[in-house]
Amino acid sequence: MKHSLRMKMNESLFLRDPELSELGKNIIKYSVQLISKQGFESFTFKKLAESIGTTEAGVYRYFENKHRLLVYLISWYWGWLEFQIVFQINNIDDPEKKLQKIITLLSKNIEDDKSTDHVNESLLYQLVISEGSKAYLTNHVKQDNKQHLFKPYKDLCKLIGDIILECNPKYKYSRSLASTIIEMAHLQNFFIQYLPSLTDFAATKSEHDIISFLNHLVFSSIKNAELQQSNKKK
Amino acid sequence: MKHSLRMKMNESLFLRDPELSELGKNIIKYSVQLISKQGFESFTFKKLAESIGTTEAGVYRYFENKHRLLVYLISWYWGWLEFQIVFQINNIDDPEKKLQKIITLLSKNIEDDKSTDHVNESLLYQLVISEGSKAYLTNHVKQDNKQHLFKPYKDLCKLIGDIILECNPKYKYSRSLASTIIEMAHLQNFFIQYLPSLTDFAATKSEHDIISFLNHLVFSSIKNAELQQSNKKK
DNA sequence: CTATTTTTGATAGTTTTACTATCTTTTTAA
DNA sequence: TTAAAAAGATAGTAAAACTATCAAAAATAG
């Protein structure tokens, strides 16, 4: 039997729920294509409307502006990823193994998930790598945050943070380490593709190197209790 | 005696060197003000021209477009920061102490440096925190990179990476760790200001916590030799 | 199964942004 | 002191980012 996965999205993100109509689903589908291929800056509702075969006004009925649409796509991704993570670590007891699994899921380009028809996760992963931080790097972060637009990201960060605490309940930087893992998995990926000299992986250009790096970084830090106090004194 | 510091900038960044005229210096000065206060997206050459008291065309004589101006400002910052770092670690022999100094310089909001008249470094630091990654998160990274627009960032990354290797010549991820330090010092700063639940520092909102976190993270990883091979097998 | 509501399509228009062009005046530097 | 370079002033274009309106089509409720 086939299962289909549906995210429940924050309603302030859209004017009309795009998952409830063909046009809406097309807006999602084609915006992922266009943004992942040409970048968010050169993406316009006009181009989107043309590639769908509707009009600009049609798109504006679903999304207030292109930034909201971007945040929608990215939130969708975080929600989807959290589900994948929860699913995949479900039967694992060892928190360290959980964390390793998470690092892998964050670092590896994913295949298109057939249970979500209108979203190509592989393209969406590239989109989140290149455009993800633009969701919050705006002068209206505070207002957006008040509307809980970043909840999926925060939830994921908390989930990972809590697993870090399972590994070492005395670790003091669980949230910051969690956000570091998330951001760095993506950013090292971006650097490998476009600015390889900012990484050590120019030769192989392999995600496995990112995974090794992050595992080493994360577990060294989590397991190292002694330094946590002493650094402050220096 | 007063010293004045002058960065030599990549000439593809501008059409006319802004450091060589009053108008040019004003473009730098006021763009830092405007972008750091209102954000890059709402920044326009028209607003800039108005606040300087010149015209849009005047600004276009110096910079091709606002993205080039942004990259100019950010490159200037990386160049300036590298100088600060080289200056401050000059008499330090212990590479670990050097690295600690660097982490501190990256994480702490800086005071306005009087040796650079037309640039307010404190504002520029906020600008780099919020807009820094927009320099390279574009669909024209590759072309920009071919024009060496990101050289100052890469140079800094190499500088830090080399010091990491001084600490432990066998450490395998010096570049990636260096870019992680740079990015995270800024991003945790951003998160503290705008999305504190992504950090562990919501209570104190203090840069010192970021410094402690990064020190712990970095030195745990650098000093932990054993894990470097074993993780691959898992 | 028809009447009513909702959604979409088609068209048009406004304001702002991102630029380009041109000409004149002022400043600078040989 | 004169020519070259820079700055000021003005105008204009193309595209982006919306808003508005009205008719056609589709969904749905009674």
pLDDT value for B115: 81
* Residue matched to tokens 């401050």: B88
Distance between CA B150 and CA B155 in Å, rounded?
A: 9
| Closest in B158, B190, B227 to A220, CB measured | B227
Cβ–Cβ gap A217/B150 under 8 Å:
no
pLDDT category of residue A81 using cuts at 50, 70 and 90: very high
Contact yes or no for A232/A178 (Cβ under 8 A):
no
pLDDT value for B1: 53
Contact yes or no for B38/B99 (Cβ under 8 A):
no
pLDDT category of residue A5 using cuts at 50, 70 and 90: confident
pLDDT value for B35: 98
pLDDT digits (tens, 9 = 90+) for B65-88: 999 999 999 999 999 999 999 999
Contact yes or no for B129/B19 (Cβ under 8 A):
no
The angle at the Cα of B222, spanning B218 to B228, to the nearest 5 degrees, equals 120
* Confidence check: pLDDT of A230 > 60: no
Best probe of the B interface among A195, A215, A226, by most B CBs < 10 A, is A195
Distance between CA B132 and CA B106 in Å, rounded?
A: 13
A-chain CB neighbours of B214 within 8 Å are none
If one compares B81 and A228, the residue with the highest pLDDT of the two is B81
Best probe of the A interface among B42, B156, B200, by most A CBs < 10 A, is B200
Q: Which helix (H) or strand (E) holds B233?
A: helix B227-233
pLDDT category of residue A114 using cuts at 50, 70 and 90: confident
Looking at residues A222-234, what average pLDDT do you find? 60
Token pair in block for residue B224:
């932990």
Looking at residues B34-43, what average pLDDT do you find? 97
* Confidence check: pLDDT of A19 > 70: yes
Cβ–Cβ gap A224/B228 under 8 Å:
no
Task: Give A115's Cβ-side CA count (13 Å radius).
Answer: 10
Token pair in block for residue B166:
């001084």
pLDDT value for B234: 35
pLDDT digits (tens, 9 = 90+) for A124-166: 999 999 999 999 999 999 999 999 999 999 999 999 999 999 9
pLDDT digits (tens, 9 = 90+) for A152-211: 999 999 999 999 999 999 999 999 999 999 999 999 999 999 999 999 999 999 999 999
pLDDT category of residue A30 using cuts at 50, 70 and 90: very high
Minimum distance, in Å, between the CA of residue A21 and any CA atom of chain B: 31
pLDDT value for A225: 79
B-chain CB neighbours of A38 within 8 Å are 139
pLDDT value for A227: 57
Cβ–Cβ gap A42/B139 under 8 Å:
yes
Task: Output the DSSP codes for B11-35.
Answer: GGG-SS-GGGSHHHHHHHHHHHHHH
SS3 for B192?
A: helix
Least confident among B4-18, B25-39, B146-160: B4-18
| Closest in A154, A201, A217 to B217, CB measured | A217
A-chain CB neighbours of B139 within 8 Å are 38-39, 41-42, 130
| Closest residue (Cα, C1') to D19 | A57
- The candidate with the shortest Cα–Cα distance to B219, out of B106, B102, B105, is B102
Token pair in block for residue A100:
């390793």
Q: What is the dihedral of CA B18, B14, B35, A76, to 10 degrees?
A: -170
SS3 for A58?
A: helix
| Closest in B195, B210, B217 to A145, CB measured | B195
Contacts of residues A51-59 at CB distance under 8 Å and 24 or more positions apart, as own/partner, are A52/A23, A52/A26, A52/A27, A54/A23, A54/A26, A58/A23, A59/A27
SS3 for B216?
A: helix
pLDDT value for B233: 38
pLDDT value for A2: 58
Distance between CA A9 and CA A59 in Å, rounded?
A: 18
pLDDT category of residue A231 using cuts at 50, 70 and 90: very low
pLDDT value for B25: 96
Task: Output the DSSP codes for B88-151.
Answer: HTTT---HHHHHHHHHHHHHSPPPPPTTSTT--HHHHHHHHHHHGGGGT-STTHHHHHHTTTTH
Find the Å distance, CA of residue A186 to C1' of nucleotide C7. 39
Task: Tell me which DSSP letter residue A2 carries.
Answer: -
* Measured CA distances, B134 to A65, A122, B66, B190 (Å): 20, 23, 12, 14
pLDDT digits (tens, 9 = 90+) for B185-198: 999 999 999 999 99
- The candidate with the shortest Cα–Cα distance to B92, out of B102, B82, B83, is B102
Q: Helix, strand, coil proportions of chain B in percent (round to 5)?
A: 70, 0, 30
Looking at residues B25-35, what average pLDDT do you find? 97
pLDDT value for B110: 85
Looking at residues B59-63, what average pLDDT do you find? 98
Cβ–Cβ gap A195/B219 under 8 Å:
no
Find the Å distance, CA of residue A36 to C1' of nucleotide D21. 34
Least confident among B38-42, B45-49, B109-113, B205-209: B109-113
Tally of CB atoms within 10 A around B64? 12
* Residue matched to tokens 């700063």: B189
A-chain CB neighbours of B42 within 8 Å are 139
Domains assigned to chain B:
11-224 (1.10.357.10)
Contact yes or no for A82/A65 (Cβ under 8 A):
no
Distance between CA A99 and CA A168 in Å, rounded?
A: 12
Contact positions of strand C to protein Cβ (< 7 A): 7-12, 16-22
Cβ–Cβ gap B198/A191 under 8 Å:
no
SS3 for A88?
A: helix
What is chain B's mean pLDDT, rounded?
Answer: 94
Q: Tell me which chain A residue has its CA closest to the CA of residue B193.
A: A142
Token pair in block for residue A180:
């570091």
Minimum distance, in Å, between the CA of residue B57 and any CA atom of chain A: 23
Write down the number of H helices and E strands in chain B: 11, 0
Distance between CA A103 and CA A79 in Å, rounded?
A: 16
Q: Tell me which chain A residue has its CA closest to the CA of residue B41.
A: A138
